[in-house]
Structure 1
Amino acid sequence: MNTKQMIKENNRLQDAMKPNNLSYYQDMVVYIRSSSVQEQKGEELLLEIAQHLLDAQSKGKSAEDVFGSDPESYCKELVEQLPKMKGLSSLQYHLMIPWIALTWFFFVQALVGFITMWAGGPVERMTQVRISTLILIAGGSYVLIHALLRSMKSDTFKPEEDKRKINVRNMGIYVAITVLILVAGVWLGRLLPVLTIAPWISLVIFLVGIAGTKLLFSSK
């Protein structure tokens, strides 16, 4: 079974779980998937856990009966035994977010450029792309998404009412990151040159980005 098939089967098994078991298990899913382990091995483990939980559920047992009252420690032990991402898989993991962010940036550039041409507006302005902008989109998207993933992981295994509360610390981190990105953008904008990219070139870059996303990052 490949990764996509395992994820699909995992979703099917979750549909058969009772609400309390499902909540417990979904926290395990978030914790393991947000850890830097090989995706295939992580999904194999999650599928094994789901099947084990459903077997126990059919016998009247709860997830806590099976995995204990400290699921975070249990998951941490499991993750430590899984192989970590390295080499090409690690490179793909770190490149995926900037790649996708830049791909859709060029889609917007192409779309706005073609609309401006159609409307008879100043196309020259729409063809100018700052290198600093590309760096900030790539770096900013990476930092913000990974900060969000860490936040989600830190919220696992907490009571539902605690998850709904606004985490002031995390909010402060996001605000600080945003401010740093904006300051870096102003600073880099003064140092780095501006590229001229026609709308049709932006469209080609977008199409190459989409093809690359499917080729390089799609689960097999």
Structure 2
Amino acid sequence: MNTKQMIKENNRLQDAMKPNNLSYYQDMVVYIRSSSVQEQKGEELLLEIAQHLLDAQAKGKSAEEVFGSDPESYCKELVEQLPKMKGLSSLQFHLMIPWVALTWFFFVQALVGFITMWAGGPVERMTQVRISTLILIAGGSYVLIHALLRWMKNDAFKPEEDKRKVNARNIGIYVAITVLILVGGVWLGRLLPVLTIAPWISLVIFLIGIAGTKLLFSSK
């Protein structure tokens, strides 16, 4: 069973869980999937946990009775035993976010350019792409997604009332990082040149990006 099939099977098993068991299990899913373990091994573990939980549920047991009252420690111990992403897999993990962000940027660039051409507007403005903008999109998307993953992992096993609370410290950190990225983008914009990219070239770059996404990052 490949990774996509395991995720599909995982979703099917979750449909059979009682609400309290489902909530407990979904926190485990968030924690394990946001950890730096090999995706295949992580999904195999989640399937084993889900099947074990359903077997226990059929006998009238709850998730807490099966896995304990401290699921975070339980998951942490399991994750430490799983192989971490190494070599190319680790590189793929870090490269995927900026790659996808830039791919869809060029799709928007192409779409707006073609619409502007069709409407008879100033196409020249739509063909100008700052290198600093590309750096900003790549870096900003990377920081944002990794910050989100860390936040999800840290909040996975918190009580529902705590999850709803706004963490001022974390928000302050994210805002500060965002401001630094924006300031850096403006500063780089004064130093780096502007590229002229026609809409059809942006479309070609987008298609190459989509092909590369399937080739380099799709789960097998």
Deviation track 1:80-115 (CA, whole Å, cap 9, x = no partner) reads 000000111111101111011000000111011111
Task: Report the CA distance between 1:35 and its aligned residue.
Answer: 0.3
Q: Superposed, which structure 2 residues align to 1:29-108 within 5 Å?
A: 29-108=29-108
CA deviation profile, 1:108-165 (whole Å, cap 9, x unmatched): 1101111111111111111111111101100110001100110111111111121122
Q: Give the drift of 1:62.
A: 0.8
Measured in 1, the distance between the counterparts of 2:212 and 2:189 equals: 28
- Three-state SS of the structure 2 residue aligned to 1:16 is coil
Match of 1:121, SS state, is coil
How far residue 213 of structure 1 moved from its aligned partner, in angstroms, is: 1.1
CA distance, structure 2, for counterparts of residue 156 and residue 167 of structure 1: 14
- Distance in 1, Cα, partners of 2:195 & 2:55: 59
The answer for the alignment partner of 1:166 in structure 2 is 166
Number of positions where the alignment pairs a residue of Structure 1 with one of Structure 2: 220
Q: Distance in 2 between matches of 1:15 and 1:125?
A: 50
> How far apart are 1:170 and its partner, in Å?
2.0
Which consecutive unaligned segments of at least 5 residues does structure 2 have? Answer: none
Q: Deviation of residue 51 (structure 1)?
A: 0.5
C-alpha distance in structure 2 between counterparts of 1:12 and 1:51, whole Å: 11
**What is the distance in 2 between the residues matched to 1:5 and 1:112?**
37
Q: How far does the alpha carbon of each residue in 1:159-193 deviate from its partner, in whole angstroms, 9 at most, with x for none? A: 11211222222221221121111100111101111
Deviating runs (4+, > 6 A) in structure 1? none
Hey, what's the Cα distance between the residues in 2 that align with 1:22 and 1:116? 49
Percent identity, aligned pairs only, is 95
- C-alpha separation between the residues in 1 aligned to 2:117 and 2:14? 50
After alignment, is 179-188 or 167-176 more displaced? 167-176
Greater CA deviation, 96-105 or 114-123?
114-123
Residue 204 of structure 1, CA deviation: 0.3
Correspondence 1:193 to 2:193: yes
Q: Secondary structure, in 3 states, of the residue corresponding to 2:99?
A: helix
- C-alpha distance after superposition, 1:18-58 (max 9, x if no partner): 11111110000000000001000000000000001111111
Tell me the CA shift for residue 216 of structure 1.
1.3
Say which SS state the counterpart of residue 129 (structure 2) adopts: strand
Q: Distance in 2 between matches of 1:199 and 1:95?
A: 25
Root-mean-square deviation over aligned CA pairs: 0.8
Return the alpha-carbon distance in structure 1 between the equivalents of residues 36 and 145 of structure 2. Answer: 14
**C-alpha distance in 1 between matches for 2:139 and 2:90:** 17
Structure 1: gaps of 5 or more residues? none
TM-score, length of structure 2 as denominator length:
0.98
